[in-house]
Structure 1
Amino acid sequence: MKILALILLAFVLTLVISYLLKKTQRMVVSEQKWPFYVKRPMGAAEQVLYFRLIKALPGHIVLAQVSASRILSVMPNYHFQHWHKRLHNLSYDFVVCDKNFSVIAAIELDDSSPAHPHQQQAAVTKNKICNDAELRLIRWHVKLLPDEFAIQAAFSEPRITNNLPPKHVHDQHVDQLLSRES
């Protein structure tokens, strides 16, 4: 009986000491200055293109620096984790939506700097993903930014993006939004 009591006491002491150490570590971390600073979310070329997009497409919503996983998903009956990981760390410079937030196109700005193999592979992956998802991907060079007329022309092309999930996908969030409107 004494052995069981000693084991229980040792276990409780271990928990208490562990808790106190974690609490102390949290306090030390929170007191130190972390090495973060605020920076601009867009470079100069991206800012220029953003304002041109806004002016050229007044009936649209332009989003910047959008994670691919925010606008793309995996069809049912496919291994979600296997396919979703291909979207990991991929983003689009801009995503253009209509007023209902249906995605019309993704836009990428390419530069002339020698691309790292990682960047080259990301571009190939984005092209494949967009093509298979039937998402229009527009690529413009940083040093050849389109003017408003070229932007309007690019969006007047009759390519329609598939914004609807497969019929067997049920989105409860959409149902909730629609029921509130009724």
Structure 2
Amino acid sequence: MSVLQESLKSELPSIFTKLALLLGLALTAKWIITTILKTLFSKAKNIVVTKIKKENFTEQKSQNESQQFDRRISTSYFYSKRPVTSAEQKLYFALVRAVPDLLILPQVAFSQFIGTRGGDSKENFALFGTARQKVVDFLICDKAFNIICAIELDDKSHENKGEEDFKRDEILRESGINCLRFKVGHLPAIAEIKETILTNS
């Protein structure tokens, strides 16, 4: 037996061992890749199914809301009404006579003429939330829409709402706006209303 044959014979076990190791690594890699692909495919499938279900749910919800709205419209849930009460109408015309050169804006939401500043966006949004749903009975402005003062008519709607009125006045005061109050059924004379507005502007 030649030296080469002897060498090959002695190396065969090592070669077979290496081949077996490589084969094992290849099979392991194949299993890992297959597992990863199956997992990715399963996740992708779940995402698509979830998206389709969500779209179907959203579409169904939209259809239901639309049908409910249509039913409400057809059964006359909505109706128009006067934006001011009879008592507020009396005060409005008294204000027009008292200060004819000024603008009298009835039922103005705080969100239309009050903003927030000084804090971060979250704090400002929270503070604005305490004011945005409030409404002032009358907002008095000059011809350039600069605010002169706010006016509240204390009628039955203000009964047992002292704390709420106090908060309303505090917000206006902090915004630099004077709030004048008149009692329903006890409106001052036109000249007195004029003097009160001009004095507190």
Which deviates more, 137-146 or 64-73? 64-73
Compared with structure 1, are the counterparts of its residues 101 and 14 closer, same or farther at alpha carbon in structure 2 (3 Å cutoff)?
A: same
Q: 2-side partners of 1:37 and 1:74: how far apart?
A: 34
Q: How far is the alpha carbon of 1:24 from its aligned partner?
A: 2.9
User: When the two structures are superposed, what TM-score results if normalisation uses the length of structure 1?
Assistant: 0.72
Pairing of 1:10-29 with structure 2 (within 5 A): 10-11=49-50, 13-15=52-54, 17-29=56-68
Match in the other structure for 2:85: 43
Q: 2-side partners of 1:77 and 1:114: how far apart?
A: 32
Q: Deviations over 1:34-89 (max 9, x none)?
A: 42221111111100111121122111111001112222222334631232233143
Higher helix share: 2
Compared with structure 1, are the counterparts of its residues 6 and 96 closer, same or farther at alpha carbon in structure 2 (3 Å cutoff)?
A: closer
Q: How far is the alpha carbon of 1:25 from its aligned partner?
A: 1.2
Q: How far is the alpha carbon of 1:113 from its aligned partner?
A: 7.3
Match in the other structure for 1:152: 194
Amino acid at match of 1:95: L
Equivalent residue for 2:128, pick from 84, 87, 90: 84
Compared with structure 1, are the counterparts of its residues 20 and 138 closer, same or farther at alpha carbon in structure 2 (3 Å cutoff)?
A: closer
The count of residues paired between Structure 1 and Structure 2 equals 157
Match in the other structure for 1:59: 101
Q: Deviations over 1:74-128 (max 9, x none)?
A: 2334631232233143211100000110100100011367823xx2221111222
**Bigger RCO (CA 8 Å, 6+ sep):** 1
Match in the other structure for 1:33: 72
Indicate yes or no: 2:146 matched with 1:102. yes
Q: Secondary structure at the match of 2:180?
A: strand
Q: 1-side partners of 2:59 and 2:127: how far apart?
A: 42
Match in the other structure for 1:69: 111
Indicate yes or no: 2:166 matched with 1:127. no
Unaligned residue ranges in structure 1 (runs of 5+): 161-182
Unaligned residue ranges in structure 2 (runs of 5+): 1-37
Q: Following superposition, which runs of at least 4 residues in structure 1 exceed 6 angstroms of deviation? A: none
Compared with structure 1, are the counterparts of its residues 80 and 16 closer, same or farther at alpha carbon in structure 2 (3 Å cutoff)?
A: closer
Amino acid at match of 1:91: V
Match in the other structure for 2:20: none
Asked if structure 2 preserves the Cα contact closer than 8 Å seen for 1:105 and 1:138, the reply is yes
Compared with structure 1, are the counterparts of its residues 17 and 112 closer, same or farther at alpha carbon in structure 2 (3 Å cutoff)?
A: closer
